[in-house]
Amino acid sequence: MDIKLVARKNNENTIIDLKNTKIGEGFFTIIAGPCSVENKEVINEIAHFLSELGIKIMRGGVFKPRTSPYSFQGLGKKGLEYLKLAAEKYNLKIITEALDEDSLRLVNECADIIQIGSRNAQNYGLLRKVGKLNKPVLLKRGFMMTIEEFLYSAEYIAYEGNKNIILCERGIRTFETKTRNTLDISAIPILKKETHLPIIIDPSHAAGRRDIIPYLIKASLAVGSHGVMVEIHPQPEKALSDGKQSMKFKEFEKTIKEIRELADVLEVKIK
């Protein structure tokens, strides 16, 4: 069967309208925040920093799917409370990941965008569940998925009635060892030809190292993506998860300034 609901044919570009910001064609939306919500103080510091930069959407993991069962698994419900309080204080929208039906119920109550991570990108039961909700869903590409499989996963969500879907390219697994994953930058123009859904990039999980992330952010803007989702932390060396790929405040601020200048040249609105 052909991909129907998320296919570009006979469909106008989907624009996700969050009232204080938009995601879709003509916009380049910046989403940033820590890999994990660690405590109330750090998430408030990050929220304040983002608000000062004019960024409207904050990410933060509270239910963490880790490769090792001994790694930090997130604060769960308490982390959601910290995330929501910080977002409300600084007038930010939030995105966080749901792992299963139990966490989906909690995330749906608090988040403005529900994230389905790469490990669950082909969890069709969970995809059907978010498809029944009236809330934007950010679907990450699985690290072993083809573009066609990625679109079929989005189709599962749309089939249940929810077409407010954001696709996220976050790198695929190859034989390369210099990065955590290989960012498939060519997927962006291909997806833009094949689907009406907005497409953003997660350069943090693609790179696994902060030193090249500014270049990947600029490349994502140049290739036509609709935004980026970046991990930042005030002290990455002390982060409880993914510190090596979390940008420091000063380097993130510098990068944002540079891409705003590039966006002016490309006539794209930074959100």
Instruction: Please tell me the predicted confidence (pLDDT) of residue 66.
Output: 67
Instruction: Please tell me the predicted confidence (pLDDT) of residue 11.
Output: 85
d(CA 93, CA 47): 10
Q: Within a 10 A sphere around the Cβ of 49, how many other Cβ atoms?
A: 19
Reported in sequence order, the residue ranges of the chain that DSSP labels E, i.e. its strands, are 16-17, 22-23, 27-33, 57-59, 93-97, 113-116, 137-140, 165-169, 199-201, 227-231, 269-270
Instruction: Please tell me the predicted confidence (pLDDT) of residue 10.
Output: 75
d(CA 121, CA 152): 10
Q: What element of type H or E holds 221?
A: helix 213-222
Q: Within a 10 A sphere around the Cβ of 70, how many other Cβ atoms?
A: 7
The answer to whether the CB of 87 falls within 8 A of the CB of 93 is yes
- 232-237 long-range contacts (CB < 8 A, ≥24 apart) are 232/32, 232/33, 232/34, 232/46, 232/49, 233/34, 233/35, 233/42, 233/46, 234/42, 234/45, 234/46, 234/49, 236/210
Series of mean pLDDT values for 10-residue runs along the chain (271 residues): 88 93 96 96 98 97 77 83 96 96 94 97 97 97 97 98 98 97 98 97 97 97 97 95 95 96 88 81
Q: Within a 10 A sphere around the Cβ of 213, how many other Cβ atoms?
A: 24
Output the six-digit token pair for 31: 């989403």
* Tens-place pLDDT, residues 206-233: 999 999 999 999 999 999 999 999 999 9
What is the C-alpha R_g of the chain? 17
DSSP string, 53-81: HT--EEE-BSS---SSTTS----THHHHH
d(CA 269, CA 56): 14
Backbone angles phi, psi at 16, to 5 degrees: -85, 115
Residue 93 C-beta-side C-alpha neighbours within 13 Å: 22
d(CA 120, CA 128): 12
Residues 6+ apart with CB under 8 A from 235: none
Give burial (CB, 10 Å; 0-12/13-18/19+) of 92.
buried
